[in-house]
A and B are shown apart, each in its own frame.
Chain A
Amino acid sequence: MTHDMPAAVGEILNRHLGREGALLPILHDIQAEFGYVPEEVQPQITKALNISKAEVHGVVSFYHDFRDHKAGAHVVKLCRAEACQAVGADRVAAHAKRALGVDWHGTSADGVTLEPVFCLGLCACGPAAMVDGRLMGRVDEARVDAVLAGVRG
């Protein structure tokens, strides 16, 4: 645990304590702060919310968004859902996996994490992607190459 981690978590907890159903907002803020939900901060949460370690771990592990380790420096999310499949998402995904040398949830040697996403609501302009939070429509193989070249510097 880094030196200032408890202080940062304490600040986040203070922001949300007293709210109904505070755990998800707390976990979102922790992930925004550290890039993942470190296991070592969980006791601090259980104490503040007066819930068990199992409950916190259960929630962190249930939701796809919460990570138990840091992602790469860049995160590329590709939509795998039906509307994007209908316009070639599987082909685009296969290309991205080859280009990065990883499967879903993997991180390439140079720090690009590839993740599946099931729908970004861009179903009339698929295949859709989100690169470091930026939305993209009509993504094809060339676009993937351009994106990867961009984030890899």
Chain B
Amino acid sequence: MKIYVPLDSAAVALGADEVVAAIGDRAQVVRNGSRGMVWLEPLVEVETDAGRMAFGPMTVEDVPGLFGDLSKHPKALGLTEDLSWMKGQTRLTFARVGVIDPLSLADYRAHGGLVGLQRAVGMEPAAVVAEVTASGLRGRGGAGFPTGIKWKTVSEAKADRKYIVCNADEGDSATFADRMLMEGDPFTLIEGMAIAGLACGAVKGFVYIRSEYPVAIRVMEQAIVLARAEGVLGTSVLGSGRVFDMEVRVGAGAYVCGEETSLLNSLEGKRGVVRAKPPLPALEGFMGKPTVVNNVISLATVPVIMERGAAFYQAFGLGRSRGTIPLQIAGNVRFGGLYECAFGVSLGDIVDGIGGGTLTGRPVKAVQVGGPLGAYFPRRLFDTPFAYEEFAGKDGLIGHAGLTVFDDSADMLSQARFAMEFCAIESCGKCTPCRIGAVRGVETVDRIARGDASAIPLLTDLCATMKAGSLCALGGFTPYPVLSALTHFPDDFAVKEAAE
């Protein structure tokens, strides 16, 4: 009997390890990634002749029932693949997450792994770059810069050393796609980085993982050792005679290191302070050498593009947002988790449909899209299609595709204050609009809270300064949550004025 119990952090945080201990040696246990249905974690699967049957959310008390009549188990959900959450998705980047044993290269190969890298090995580097460019893949970290264009710059740069750096400093609240991918299918990221290395002429890669992700760090480190032993990494990638190797580096609890130039400084062993651009990291990045800095999801999507071709991937999506996006639905939501689908689904369909509304059952008041630097969207904007330009057109951003749902008990003035407070705590201190502006921002929101309406135009003005004058997205985008709260929820800023 084979039982799958996720090693995913969310499953572990909800008791997966205790479930494994309760199973003991009565079955062969495979620690897989999560299927993304976090409200059902720990979601345990039992392999049967009909397919994998899902049970969840499992407790230790539910374990003995797994060894009886499975159809009568109180937590039986049916076949995993038949669950509506699974059937509605287009899983390309996350195709193997939750399905395979994340640390079995044999399992990885059996599910289409390494086909893309094998193909890339036989191609000219410029052809690989062209394929990624043609796929329309854009940076999934939030900036949305075309991945192929970045690769082209690095591949054409002349230098004695180049680097591939994976940004796994996933600090945005409501985002956990990078974590799930690294925990559930680490070889996909390794494969994507190896392809990037071959395409750009880089022989060394780094995965910079935040220290808050101990499980992802462990799984990635183990996977790299396995990949090296099997010749996927090392002095002859898949026997090609070409070199690429990589290592994990661990962050130290600084949110700003998710910004690519701060990350590079941190990787070099310095304070994670933002660098002015230009020079672009693609020309002068890690140690002053040409460097590709890509998000986990961007790199992990490259293997499927190389496996199935640019045209296949490019066929999904909306407008200039091509392919699929792993939505991370979080906060006060009934069905929270990771849902990968083509760009273009409306915000309302995501929140009310896929997410099932709030966990508390109260009305949805606001949804913050794109992490702590993303705008708060009211119900009025629920028809906005989920895509880069479409969200920008509504003064928002999709960021790393995390969505935090709030019910009507949320106070948007408090949320605006928190955005400024967070910026003040996490500012690297290099530029004045962010370092000082965020502190003044907290004070100004407090003035509004005390009933001083004259502070509202001051806050708007401060936001304009931060937006235009900050070096990076931390100071530059903090105005998004603040101004969207003010614009869409004026009552939360006015009620307190009346109370004065």
Q: Using Cβ atoms and an 8 Å threshold, which residues of chain B touch A138?
A: 14
Asked, given contacts A86-B332, A123-B328, whether A63 binds B272 with beta carbons under 8 Å apart, the answer is: yes
Query: Which of B211, B272, B372 interacts with A62 by CB under 8 Å?
Result: B272
Q: Using Cβ atoms and an 8 Å threshold, which residues of chain A touch B405?
A: 86
Interface stretch, picked from A3-11, A16-24, A95-103, A106-114, is A16-24
Q: How long is the Cα–Cα vector from A66 to B250 in the complex, in angstroms?
A: 13
Q: Among residues 388 to 420 in chain B, which have CB atoms less than 8 Å away from a CB atom of chain A?
A: 402, 404-407, 410, 415, 418
Q: Is A43 an interface residue (CB 8 A)?
A: no
Q: Using Cβ atoms and an 8 Å threshold, which residues of chain B touch A49?
A: 269
Q: Using Cβ atoms and an 8 Å threshold, which residues of chain A touch B251?
A: 24, 63, 65
Asked, given contacts A82-B415, A87-B332, A135-B13, whether A64 binds B252 with beta carbons under 8 Å apart, the answer is: yes
Q: Is B333 an interface residue (CB 8 A)?
A: yes
Number of A-B contacts (CB under 8 A): 155
Q: Is B382 an interface residue (CB 8 A)?
A: no
Interface stretch, picked from B91-99, B170-178, B434-442, B469-477, is B170-178
Q: Using Cβ atoms and an 8 Å threshold, which residues of chain A touch B253?
A: 63-65, 117
Q: Using Cβ atoms and an 8 Å threshold, which residues of chain A touch B287?
A: 20-21
Chain A interface (Cβ < 8 Å from any Cβ of B): 20-25, 27-28, 49, 55, 58-59, 62-66, 81-87, 117-126, 128, 130, 133, 135-138
Asked, given contacts A20-B268, A122-B10, whether A83 binds B252 with beta carbons under 8 Å apart, the answer is: no
| A-B interface, 9 closest residue pairs, ranked by CB to CB distance from nearest | A124-B336, A23-B269, A81-B173, A86-B331, A63-B252, A123-B330, A64-B253, A137-B13, A124-B38
Interface of B is mostly: mixed
Interface of A is mostly: loop
Q: How long is the Cα–Cα vector from A27 to B330 in the complex, in angstroms?
A: 34
Contact B402–A135 (Cβ < 8 Å): no
A55's nearest neighbour on chain B, judged by CB, is B270
Q: How long is the Cα–Cα vector from A82 to B403 in the complex, in angstroms?
A: 10
Contact B418–A85 (Cβ < 8 Å): yes
Q: A121-B10, A124-B176 are in contact. List 14 more A-B contacts (CB 8 A).
A: A20-B287, A23-B270, A24-B269, A62-B272, A64-B253, A81-B372, A82-B372, A83-B174, A119-B172, A123-B336, A124-B39, A130-B212, A133-B214, A138-B14
